[in-house]
Amino acid sequence: MLNNKLTKAVRLAIAYGAASTAVFATNTFAAEEGAKAVERIEVTGSRIKRTDLETSSPVTVMTAEEIKLSGFSRVEDVLNQLPQIEAADTSFLANGATGTATIDLRGLGTNRTLVLINGRRMQAGSITSQVADVNQIPASLIKRVDVLTGGAAAVYGADAVAGVVNFVMDDEFEGFSLNVGTSAYQHNNDNKYIQGLMDAKGYDYETGNTGLDANAYSIDLTIGNSFDGGKGHAVGYVTYNRQTELLQGSRDYASCALNGAGKVCAGSATTPNPHFDIYPVVNGEVDYKQNLFAYLNPNGQGFIEDDGYRYNFGPINHFIRPNERFTFGTFIDYEINDNFRPYLEFSFMHNRTAGQIAESGTFFNEEIRFDYNNPLLSDIQKQQLQTLFNQSSPDDQFVAYIGKRNVEGGAREDNLEHSSYRILTGMEGEINDTWSYDVSYNYSSTTSNSVYKNDLLAPKIAPRVGAVDTECNAADGCLLYNVFELGGVTPEQAAQLAGVGTQTGLVTQIIYSGYVTGEFDLTLPTASVPIGAVFGFERREQDYERVSDTVYEEGQLLGQGGPSPSLYGAIDVNEVYGELNVPILDELNLSLAARWSDYSTTGSDSTYSIGVDYTLADAYKFRASYAKVVRAPNIGELFSAQSISLWSGDDPCAGDPNAPKAEDRPDFTASQCANLGVTADQYGNIGESPAGQYNQFAGGNPGLSPEEGNTFTLGLVASPFEGFNFSVDYFKIEIEKVIGVVGAERILNNCGLTGDAFFCDNITRSPSGSLWLGQAGFVTNLSDNIGGRTWEGVDVTAAYKMDLGEGALNFDINGYYSMKKEVEPILGDAGLAYDCSGKVSTDCFASPKWRHTANVSYLRDGWRVGVKWRFYGDVEYDGSADTSLVDNGGIDSYNFIDVSGSYSYNEYLTVTGGINNIFDKEPPMVGNTIANNANTVAGFYDTLGRFAHISFNLKF
Confidence of residue 38 (pLDDT cuts 50, 70, 90): very low
As a whole number, mean pLDDT of residues 614-636 equals 92
- CATH superfamily, domain 11-27+40-252+319-357+415-452+503-633+704-743+781-923+931-955, is TonB-dependent receptor, beta-barrel domain (2.40.170.20)
DSSP one-letter code for 479: -
pLDDT of residue 346: 96
Comparing CA positions, the residue from 602, 610, 621, 808 lying closest to residue 707 is 602
Q: 182 or 97, which is more confident? A: 182
pLDDT of residue 692: 78
Instruction: Specify whether the CB–CB gap between 4 and 11 falls below 8 A.
Output: no
Give the H or E element holding residue 595: strand 588-599
Tell me the C-alpha distance between 146 and 597, whole Å. 25
Confidence of residue 51 (pLDDT cuts 50, 70, 90): low
Is the pLDDT at 19 greater than 50? The verdict is no
What's the pLDDT tens digit per position in 526-542?
999 999 999 999 999 99
What's the pLDDT tens digit per position in 103-120?
999 999 999 999 999 999
Confidence of residue 30 (pLDDT cuts 50, 70, 90): very low
pLDDT of residue 55: 63
Question: What are the residues whose beta carbons fall under 8 Å from the beta carbon of 790, sequence distance 6 or more?
Answer: 732, 733, 734, 735, 820, 821, 822, 824
Tell me the C-alpha distance between 898 and 891, whole Å. 21
- Minimum mean pLDDT range among 5-9, 379-383, 616-620, 687-691: 5-9
Residue count of the chain, please give it. Answer: 956
> In angstroms, how far apart are the furthest CA atoms of the chain?
109
Instruction: Tell me how many helices (H) and strands (E) the chain has.
Output: 14, 46
Phi, psi of 944 (to 5 degrees): -120, 5
Tell me the C-alpha distance between 555 and 453, whole Å. 14
Provide the β-strand partners of residue 419. Answer: 350, 447
Tell me the C-alpha distance between 139 and 145, whole Å. 10
The DSSP-derived string for 670-688 is HHHHHHTT--TTTTT-BPP
Burial of 557 (0-12, 13-18, 19+ CB in 10 A): buried
Confidence of residue 705 (pLDDT cuts 50, 70, 90): very high
Count of other CB atoms within 10 angstroms of residue 736: 16
pLDDT of residue 4: 39
Provide the β-strand partners of residue 203. Answer: none
pLDDT of residue 54: 60
Most confident of 96-100, 184-188, 875-879: 184-188
Confidence of residue 501 (pLDDT cuts 50, 70, 90): very high
As a whole number, mean pLDDT of residues 617-627 equals 92
As a whole number, mean pLDDT of residues 86-97 equals 88
Give CA angle at 18 (13, 19), nearest 5°.
Answer: 130
Is the pLDDT at 26 greater than 70? The verdict is no
Tell me the C-alpha distance between 88 and 135, whole Å. 13
pLDDT of residue 127: 83
Is the pLDDT at 2 greater than 50? The verdict is no
As a whole number, mean pLDDT of residues 218-223 equals 96
What's the pLDDT tens digit per position in 256-292?
999 888 999 988 889 999 999 999 999 999 998 888 9
As a whole number, mean pLDDT of residues 346-365 equals 94
Confidence of residue 27 (pLDDT cuts 50, 70, 90): very low
What's the pLDDT tens digit per position in 115-159?
999 999 998 888 888 889 999 998 889 999 999 886 688 888 878
Q: Which runs of E-coded beta strand occur in 212-367?
A: 213-227, 232-243, 246-247, 275-282, 285-286, 292-296, 303-305, 318-320, 323-334, 341-357
As a whole number, mean pLDDT of residues 538-561 equals 92
pLDDT of residue 479: 95
Provide the β-strand partners of residue 625. Answer: 611, 713
